[in-house]
Amino acid sequence: MDALAKALLPTLLHELANTTQLLTGLHALTTLPEGEELLATHEGELSRAGDQAQRLGWLIGVLGAAGGHDILLARREQAGLDWIVGLATKAARREDRSMPSGPSTLPRLMGCTPDGWSVPWALGSLLWQVGEESTGRAWSLDMETDGWRLCVPGSDPSQVVLQVPGARVVESVSNSGLDLMLPKEYLA
């Protein structure tokens, strides 16, 4: 298991346990005589738990795919970058680590990405890599004429480039390191 997977798994399992606990509580309402009315007053929680289950299921699939077991198959999630950055940030907090700041909004993953998981995993891996020795500089993901430039100052994108079909390592324009260039059709 690589460093990012080891770091994310406890946080992911904790969030999954919280969602399961919420669903168990809502299920308990259905066993009460006035359960139907009580459950109706908790529709927001049920909807939130459904959204969480969708996000957590995808993240479990990403961890499996990163370990060589493609249980995601053809599943694509447009919010995958947001989800992996969010989970990595929570995992860093659990370990009392710093994480570099980044853009407030991220592009959406497109359906044409070859596997649906490697772009988010590469981003998470690079952020986790520099979180250990955070440079304090923000990371960025910007559209350029020949693709999306992922700049994570202090990271080594050559360690993840082979995970992302079509990606390549390029000289950084903002620092003395290297950046990861992603095909432009992968994100929007």
pLDDT digits (tens, 9 = 90+) for 110-168: 988 778 889 999 999 999 998 766 566 789 999 999 999 999 998 999 999 999 999 99
Q: How many CB atoms lie within 10 A of CB 150?
A: 26
Q: What is the pLDDT of residue 137?
A: 79
Q: Is the pLDDT of residue 78 over 80?
A: yes
Q: What is the pLDDT of residue 139?
A: 93
Q: What is the pLDDT of residue 106?
A: 97
Q: What is the pLDDT of residue 174?
A: 82
Average pLDDT score over residue span 8-36 = 92
3-state per-residue secondary structure call for 90-148: HHHHHCCCCCCCCCCCCCCECCCCCCCCHHHHHHHHHHHHHHCCCCCCCCEEEEECCEE
Split at pLDDT 50, 70, 90, the class of 47 is: very high
Split at pLDDT 50, 70, 90, the class of 24 is: very high
Q: Taking all residues of the chain, what is their mean pLDDT, rounded to a whole number?
A: 90
Residue with tokens 């620092």: 175
Q: How many CB atoms lie within 10 A of CB 61?
A: 19
Q: What is the pLDDT of residue 161?
A: 95
Q: What is the pLDDT of residue 132?
A: 63
Closest CA to 4 of 52, 57, 62: 62
